[in-house]
Structure 1
Amino acid sequence: MLAALLYGQEDLRLETVPDPTPADGEVVIEVGAATTCGTDLKVWRRGGHAKMLKPPTLFGHEAAGQIVALGAGVIGWNVGDRVVANNSAPCMTCFFCQRQEFSLCTNLTFNNGTFAKYLKVPALIVQHNLLSVPAGLSDAMAAMTEPLACVLHGVARSNVKPGDRVVLLGDGAIGLMFVAALAKQSAEVFLFGGSDSRLDIGKKFGAAKTFNYRQVPDLPNLVRDLTDGWGADIAIEATGVPSAWETAIACVRPGATVNLFGGCPRDTTITVNTEQLHYNELTLKGVFHNTPEFVRAALALIASHTVPFELLISDHQPLKNLEQVFQDMKQRKVVKVAIVP
């Protein structure tokens, strides 16, 4: 089969590799659609990921399709079932899993390789994070379950209460998903991004106000003007840029929570004012990945059709155009693209 392999920094190659065969407990799905993600873009640009993969490796981690082969011992699934596979599953037995902190699992099983005709799904993911796609839901829509699950996990860790004023930094797919999830919690969301077309999607997802940060000379001061001089109750950073982490901290009121969600490049650092952190009783949280609970909640939210998540899919392209798709993502011409093998 034809598959995408990542060899290093912006080194993505389409190669012919053997069709996968499922081992015990595994399944193989024929990919109906694999959606691109901001994480894929970062990994492509940086040439790797601290947790998910090390080159050279099969690439891509969001996909839905149809089961075409079952390994020995697989129960509850049949050839022909339409499914979406999360890109990971916790072991359920380690120190963190025993405390239900599944995103911190020390043995987290990751799976990559969605940009291909077939995807082999490891046994742990089959057991814990393989879900049926509801009738009437397209593969491209179902494939967005994984990033939305990460967002729902992030919202849950942000201590959101109805009426909270939330600053959201970043208008990528993750940032826009955050807007939708926060609006569902009756939060007042102030979205900052660099693309007017993406900010328009943010409005449709429920943002109370949107701002092009290029037109804002002093972002923290603007936030104070929007919040009676105090600052936001919550700030969520969804860009993965260290300076934006510092901006998020500068935007909040005493007693606020700052969710540092966007993964920054390895070995980067930020500066935090210790007086502000201590005397303002700030809560700074790094939030990573998802859990089985939120994988299920994400698919249910997409299938409810209460949020027009289809607005995030800018285009559908064949696998042979994947390199150009990443170039377009790099230039912010598209949000997400559904790759159809």
Structure 2
Amino acid sequence: MKQIVYYGIEDIRLKEVAVPVPAAGEVVVKNKVTLTCGTDCKMFMRGYRYNPPHLIGHEAAGDVVSVGEGVTKFKIGDRVVAHNTAPCHKCYWCKKGQHSMCVDLPSNLGSYAEYQLIPKNIVEETMFLMPDDMDYKQAALTEPLSCAVYGIDQVDIEQGDSVVVNGCGPIGLMFIRLAYLKGARVIACDNKQNRLELAKKMGALHLINIQEQDQIQAVRELIEDARGVDVAIEAAGLPEVWEIAFQQVRAGGQVLCFGGTKTGTQVTFDCTRMHYEQITVKGVFHTTPIHVNAAFELLKMKAISAEDFVENEYTIEETEMAIREHAAGKVIKNCIIYN
């Protein structure tokens, strides 16, 4: 089978490898689609957490082609989507209920491939049978949406609250949609008009093009007495945007920092303001099984649609082109199609 392997910055290679064989509890899926992700882009352009070579890709959906001994939830021919991790439920963090921080997350990284081995933990907890009317692209949005669902759950948003989302990439747009569904007055900030237009479709009431307006001042001016928003969400992965979000929020407000920055990056916050104005700054990473399940249910309800997020289709041989186009911000997401 064909599989993409990451060897270093701007170096991914297509390799021929054997089709995996499932052990007890495991499943092999023939991928139908894999979606590009901002994490793939960051990895490709600047490196990421893992030392190369390693597999990449984690947003996919396909058909079960073989099952290991003891698997009863799925059978050959089932249309499925598998999340990329499931917690061990044994480590310190899992026992504390902080499943996104699990230190032994079994993963199925490597969805830029014709076939994919799904580990037992994922098969049992975060793999789902797709309804007959669900498209593969729609199902493949489960992983990114689950991260946004987890993130939005980390801040208190009440009906009528003001929320700004800085960065209208795929995750930012999902944050906008989820905040809107909670009844918030949403402000969207980005430097690309196509993304801002989609932000409006997701529910943003106010659009701020940061090439034309100061995103701190413009956001504050939208709120009575320029006090700032109730919640400021950072979804760009840039340290300067973390700092901007802090300056957009009101006294007593909350800042959610979602976008991962380059290793070693530091940010500066006004300690006096954080202390006396009781501002909460929270980092958030990954997701949990509860939120993965919620995301899949939202996708079945069509709370968001793949038609809005997935733009172009490529073959596996064109994976680098798809990632580069996504990284350039020309599209929301691209899709690798496997015949």
Fold agreement, TM-score > 0.5: yes
Match of residue 143 from structure 1:
140
Match of residue 120 from structure 2:
123
Segment drifting more, 103-112 vs 162-171: 103-112
Show structure 2 runs of 5+ residues with no match. Answer: none
Q: Determine if the alignment matches structure 1 residue 224 to structure 2 residue 205.
A: no
User: After TM superposition, what 4+ stretches of structure 1 lie above 6 angstroms from structure 2?
Assistant: none
Post-superposition offset of 1:302: 1.1
Show structure 1 runs of 5+ residues with no match. Answer: none
Match of residue 153 from structure 2:
156
Rounded to whole Å, the distance in 2 between the matches of 1:305 and 1:110 is 27
Amino acid at match of 2:7: Y
The 1:177/1:309 distance shift into structure 2, 3 A limit, reads: farther
Rounded to whole Å, the distance in 2 between the matches of 1:39 and 1:127 is 25
Match of residue 51 from structure 2:
54
Q: Determine if the alignment matches structure 1 residue 285 to structure 2 residue 282.
A: yes
Matched residue count: 337
Q: Determine if the alignment matches structure 1 residue 205 to structure 2 residue 202.
A: yes
- Map of 1:166-315 to 2, 5 A cutoff? 166-216=163-213, 218-228=214-224, 229-315=226-312
Post-superposition offset of 1:306: 3.6
State whether residues 142 and 302 of structure 1, in contact with CA within 8 Å, keep that contact through their aligned partners in structure 2. yes
Rounded to whole Å, the distance in 2 between the matches of 1:176 and 1:333 is 15
Rounded to whole Å, the distance in 1 between the matches of 2:285 and 2:124 is 22
State whether residues 323 and 334 of structure 2, in contact with CA within 8 Å, keep that contact through their aligned partners in structure 1. no
Match of residue 33 from structure 2:
33
Post-superposition offset of 1:54: 3.3
Rounded to whole Å, the distance in 1 between the matches of 2:78 and 2:164 is 41
Post-superposition offset of 1:111: 2.1
TM-score by length of 2: 0.97
Post-superposition offset of 1:73: 1.8
State whether residues 4 and 13 of structure 2, in contact with CA within 8 Å, keep that contact through their aligned partners in structure 1. yes
State whether residues 108 and 116 of structure 2, in contact with CA within 8 Å, keep that contact through their aligned partners in structure 1. no
Amino acid at match of 1:224: R
1:172-213 per-residue CA deviation (whole Å, 9 max, x = no partner) reads 101011111111101111000111111111111100111111
State whether residues 9 and 44 of structure 1, in contact with CA within 8 Å, keep that contact through their aligned partners in structure 2. yes
- Say which SS state the counterpart of residue 266 (structure 2) adopts: coil
Segment drifting more, 149-158 vs 329-338: 329-338
Amino acid at match of 2:11: D
Amino acid at match of 1:86: H
Match of residue 319 from structure 2:
322
Percent identity for Structure 1 against Structure 2: 39
State whether residues 317 and 340 of structure 1, in contact with CA within 8 Å, keep that contact through their aligned partners in structure 2. yes
The 1:267/1:255 distance shift into structure 2, 3 A limit, reads: same
- Say which SS state the counterpart of residue 110 (structure 1) adopts: coil
State whether residues 138 and 305 of structure 2, in contact with CA within 8 Å, keep that contact through their aligned partners in structure 1. no
1:60-81 per-residue CA deviation (whole Å, 9 max, x = no partner) reads 0110111101112222211111
